[in-house]
Amino acid sequence: IAPHTAMILPVRISGQKDLFGFIIAGVSACRALDQAYLNFYDQLAGTFNTAISNVYAYEQEQKRAEALAEIDRSKTAFFSNVSHEFRTPLTLMLGPLEDLLQAESEGHKKAQIEATHRNAMRLLKLVNNLLDYSRVEAGRIRAAYQMLDLAELTTDLASSFRSIIEKAGMELLVNCNKLTGDFYTDRQMWEKIVLNLLSNAFKYTLEGTITVDLTQEENFAVLRVTDTGVGIPEKELPHMFERFHRVENSAGRTHEGTGIGLSLVHELVHLHGGDISVTSIEGKGSTFIVKIPAGKAHLPEAQVIATTRETEISTVTAPFIREAYSLLQDEAKGDNDEVTRTSSDIVSTPDHTISLETNILIVDD
């Protein structure tokens, strides 16, 4: 027997004031509409409300995720565009500055030009890191994986820091063993991995030793960069490879930084199918560990080059070395400024000492 009566049940979404809709459910003609039957319709409405609320919440979450992803893509595109816009005038500035450096043999003017050149190079390195990172995030970076002599390449890259590390009164130890496996790496990416880790170690190591080890452990090439620096607080360790993350109030040669270097290294290592980790004891030092798997099955086939290339002179080392020298010179300049200020602010006479520090009062009548 067809029903001749229907129940209209409201459908509400949790947290919403207005009704979402209605369910029209037929009432059986073979049964009395008693309290038990009414309870059944209440349960039916509740089930629909829960199901539709869950679907609505899922859709809203998807929309929020898509909006955040779009913001992230826009931010990545912005970094890429801004980096390009910065790099062009910086490159055009550096040419005349280098010409001026060659023309000026000595004197105060040469020192000013050198300082300008150093800081322009530091800014160029930052811009290049931002550009590299934005390319990786946008998936626009194209690698050229090939078999390289990683031991020789890593030794050369580490040795480029030897002079500045020794000038800072520290020791550089390099132990790069010949690898027997077939390890495919992108040359420029590997250079940036090694140089960023060395640069980071130099920034946060004021005395002691920086050690670079390259070994083969089973089917992995393992790079370790160890320092006797300030170390990393335990609570910060899980965040070290997050983009733009910085350890606040960390002692080192500089308090500046964007938090891009280590996150870029993290992305470059992952493009090799590898893994990076860090161990540290605050006040005693840190070790960054990079593991790259052997073979090429884990790499995009179209980006693997079959031929083996000889080790070439690095084209990306110079900005890292110049930045390190700049940090060391800034550190020395800070010490000299303190000595100069102390000696110039005090004048001694036979009878007493006079401080030249003055207070200036501005009086408005």
**pLDDT values of the chain reduced to their tens digit, one per residue, 365 residues:** 778 888 888 888 887 878 888 888 888 888 888 888 889 988 988 898 888 888 888 888 888 888 777 777 666 666 666 666 666 777 777 778 878 877 766 777 777 887 787 777 777 777 777 777 777 777 778 889 999 999 999 999 999 999 999 999 999 999 998 999 899 999 999 999 999 999 999 999 999 999 999 999 999 999 999 999 999 999 999 989 987 777 776 777 765 556 788 988 999 999 999 999 999 999 999 999 999 999 999 999 999 987 766 556 566 787 788 888 878 876 666 544 433 333 333 333 333 333 334 343 333 43
Superfamily the domain 145-325 falls into: Histidine kinase-like ATPase, C-terminal domain (3.30.565.10)
pLDDT of residue 85: 66
Question: How many helices (H) does the chain have, and how many strands (E)?
Answer: 7, 11
For the entire predicted model, the pTM comes to 0.66
pLDDT value at residue 121: 76
Residue 42 near residue 35, CB atoms below 8 Å: no
Where exactly are the structural domains of the chain?
5-64, 145-325
How much is the pLDDT for 333? Answer: 61
**pLDDT value for 32:** 85
Q: Are 189 and 153 in contact (CB under 8 A)?
A: no
Question: 146 has which bridge partners?
Answer: 185
DSSP 3-state of 187: helix
CA angle 124-161-99, nearest 5°?
45
Gap between the Cα atoms of 19 and 9, Å rounded: 11
Residue 167: the pLDDT is 92
209-236 burial: b if 16+ Cβ within 10 Å, else e? bbbbbbebeeebbbbbbbbbbbbbeeeb
Confidence at residue 168, expressed as pLDDT on a 0 to 100 scale? 92
Rg, the chain, Cα only: 32
pLDDT for residue 344:
35
In the prediction, which pLDDT does 151 show? Answer: 94
